[in-house]
Amino acid sequence: PPALAAAFEADDWEHAVRLAVGLGGDTDTLACIAGAVAEAIHGIPADISAQARDHLTDDLRQILDRFETVVGAGSA
């Protein structure tokens, strides 16, 4: 419930994740839950998405590209 509250109270994706981390406790799990819900509500900022993609190995980036092609998601 606290992670969901963070997602629903936030103004954007980053705000939701920051709120969840600020809750304390199992912050990585709370931030993952809040971030997933906030993505459905607000989307993920393009700059954050691009930075995350830059950390992937080539093989994982290729898998993500194929996945986004199949589901019709735009890549960052």
Find how far residue 53's CA is from the centre of its chain.
12
Q: How many domains does the chain have?
A: 2
Binned at pLDDT 50, 70 and 90, residue 64 comes out as: very high
User: Which candidate, 5, 12, 69, 6, places its Cα nearest to that of 46?
Assistant: 12
The domain in which residue 66 lies consists of 45-76
pLDDT at 54: 95
Find how far residue 72's CA is from the centre of its chain.
18
In this predicted model, what pLDDT tens digit does every residue of 10-59 receive, in sequence order? 999 999 999 999 999 999 999 999 999 999 999 999 999 999 999 999 99
Shared-domain flag, residues 35 and 53: no
Confirm if 34 and 19 have CB atoms less than 8 A apart: yes
Shared-domain flag, residues 36 and 56: no
pTM passes above 0.85? no
Shared-domain flag, residues 36 and 60: no
pLDDT at 9: 97
